[in-house]
C-alpha cells in the first residue's frame, strides 16, 4: 500500500462479501493500519444497488445482514416488504429459518430472485463456509427458482462503475485478486489487467488447467501482493 502511495497509484478495495457495510469494512481496514476512506471500498452490494436502481426496484424481501439492509435502506429500498418486487439474496451471516421460509414463500408466489454475488464458499482459517452460491443451491432445491441476475464479480460493472466515474482507461487499471472465476474473469470482461496472487485460493495448477483464451486467464501471476511495485 505504501509503494502504491509513493508512486501515485490510486487503489480500491473490492469484495463480493455483502455481509458487511462500507463503514464496517472501513473499520476493519483501519484496524490493520491500512489508510482508507469510504469511497475506496467497492462491494457487490454497490453493484446490486446499481442494478436495483436501473430496474426501478424499491420493494424487496432481503435475506441479508443488518449491515447490508442498512445500505439498501439508505438508498431508499425497503428490505422487509410484504409485497416485494424481488427477493434479494446476500451473504447472510445472521441467517434465520424465518428469513429462508419467507423468501421461499415469496418465490413460490412468483416473486423473482436476485443475488449479490455467485461465490459458493467464503474462505476461513477453519475451511470454506457456505456463501451465496450455496444459498442459491438451497433455494433452487426448495423452490425451483434460479436468480434473474447475479451482481458482483465477475460482472464487469462491479469495477467499471468506478473506472467510468474516474474517467480512466480500463486498460490502464489492474485487478489484483486470488480467484480465477471472479477476480480475473471480471478483469478480462472489463478490459483491465488481471493480476493473480498465489497467496489465496487459486494455484498454478488451476492456471495450467485453463483452456487457451479462457476469461479466467491472468495477465500476470505473482506469489503475493508484496511482489508488486518492487
Q: For residue 91, tell me if it sits in a domain.
A: yes
Print the domain residue range for 92.
16-152
For 1-16, what is each residue's pLDDT tens digit? 778 778 888 899 999 9
Which cell numbers hold the place of 43?
462491494
Give residue 228's pLDDT: 84
Give the mean pLDDT of 128-143. 97
| DSSP-assigned letter for residue 181 | I
Q: How many Å apart are CA 129 and CA 167, to the nearest integer?
A: 37
In the block, residue with C-alpha cell 501471476: 221
Looking at the domain assignment, is residue 71 inside a domain?
Answer: yes
Q: 56 in a domain, yes or no?
A: yes
Residue 216 counted as domain residue: no
Mean pLDDT of 161-185: 95
Kindly report, residue by residue over 25-82, the tens digit of the pLDDT.
999 999 999 989 999 999 999 999 999 999 999 999 999 999 999 999 999 999 999 9
Taking residues 201-217, report their average pLDDT: 96
DSSP 78-119: BSB-SS-SEEEE---TT--HHHHHHHHHHHHTT--EEES---
Tens digits of per-residue pLDDT, 168-177? 999 999 999 9
Q: What is the CATH number of the domain that holds 94?
A: 3.40.50.1000
Instruction: Look at the chain and report how many structural domains it folds into.
Output: 1
Assess if residue 67 is contained within a domain. yes
Q: What is the pLDDT of residue 117?
A: 95
Residue 230 pLDDT class (50, 70, 90 cuts)? confident
State the pLDDT at residue 185: 97
- Quick check: is 161 in a domain? no
User: How far are the Cα atoms of 15, 188, 210 from residue 218, in angstroms, in the given order?
Assistant: 18, 8, 10
DSSP state letters, 39-76: GGEEEHHHHHHHHHHHTT--BEEEES-HHHHHHHHHTT
Confidence (pLDDT) at 161: 87
Does residue 229 belong to any structural domain of this protein?
A: no
Predicted TM-score of the model (pTM): 0.87
Average pLDDT, the chain: 95
Give domain status of residue 190, yes or no. Answer: no
Q: Which three three-digit cell numbers place residue 178?
A: 486470488
Distance CA 153, CA 151 (A): 7
Chain-centroid distance of CA 65 in Å reads: 15
For residue 215, what are the CA distances in angstroms to 24, 28, 184, 228?
A: 32, 31, 7, 22
Amino acid at each position: 500500500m505504501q509503494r502504491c502511495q509513493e508512486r501515485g497509484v490510486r487503489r480500491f478495495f473490492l469484495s463480493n462479501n455483502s455481509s458487511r457495510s462500507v463503514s464496517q469494512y472501513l473499520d476493519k481496514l483501519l484496524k490493520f493500519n491500512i489508510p482508507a476512506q469510504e469511497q475506496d471500498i467497492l462491494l457487490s452490494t454497490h453493484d446490486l444497488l446499481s442494478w436495483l436502481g436501473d430496474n426501478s426496484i424499491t420493494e424487496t424481501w432481503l435475506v441479508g445482514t443488518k449491515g447490508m439492509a442498512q445500505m439498501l435502506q439508505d438508498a431508499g429500498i425497503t428490505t422487509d416488504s410484504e409485497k416485494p418486487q424481488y427477493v434479494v439474496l446476500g451473504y447472510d451471516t445472521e441467517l434465520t429459518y424465518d428469513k429462508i421460509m419467507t423468501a421461499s414463500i415469496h418465490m413460490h408466489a412468483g416473486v423473482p430472485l436476485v443475488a449479490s454475488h455467485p461465490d459458493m464458499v467464503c474462505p476461513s482459517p477453519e475451511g470454506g463456509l457456505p456463501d451465496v452460491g450455496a444459498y442459491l443451491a438451497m433455494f433452487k432445491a426448495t423452490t425451483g427458482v434460479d436468480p434473474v441476475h447475479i451482481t458482483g464479480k465477475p460482472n464487469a460493472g462491479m469495477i467499471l462503475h468506478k473506472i467510468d466515474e474516474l474517467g480512466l482507461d480500463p486498460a490502464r487499471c489492474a485487478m489484483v485478486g486470488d480467484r480465477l472465476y471472479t477476480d480475473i474473469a471480471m478483469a478480462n470482461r472489463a478490459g483491465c489487467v488481471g493480476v493473480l496472487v498465489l497467496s489465496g485460493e487459486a494455484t498454478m495448477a488451476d492456471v495450467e488447467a485453463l483452456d487457451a483464451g479462457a476469461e479466467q486467464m491472468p495477465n500476470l501471476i505473482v506469489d503475493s501482493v508484496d511482489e508488486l511495485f518492487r
